[in-house]
Amino acid sequence: MDTNDLMITHELHTIRAHLLHYLSLLEDLRKSIQFVLDTPNPAMDGCEADERERNRELLERECNNLLSETRRLDMSRKRQDMRVKNVMNLVSR
């Protein structure tokens, strides 16, 4: 690999920019999921108490699954970012 290849450096910076944008999207998604989890749903007021409780348990379970997935995706993003940084360090030498 030619260590002075400007094209590779440009591509690596582009990848890092995409990873940063992906971080922003993941954080927005996490905030939205947390909002749905924490905010009472007025549409549930018309339901019977036992149905409302089942729906609330389902909502909590699914929101927690989604939050877990966003954490997993963020860990994957961090690993990819570290790899890109390592390659950038190799290219800049």
Please report the pLDDT score of residue 46 as a whole number.
84
pLDDT in tens, 16-67: 999 999 999 999 999 999 999 999 888 888 889 899 999 999 999 999 999 9
Q: What is the pTM (predicted TM-score) of this model?
A: 0.81
Please check the confidence at residue 11 and state whether its pLDDT lies above 80. Answer: yes
Domain-wise residue ranges, the chain: 6-91
> Which of the four pLDDT bands, split at 50, 70 and 90, describes residue 5?
confident
Name the phi and psi angles at 48, rounded to 5.
Answer: -65, 155
Please check the confidence at residue 1 and state whether its pLDDT lies above 70. Answer: no
CB 82: neighbour CB atoms within 10 A? 10
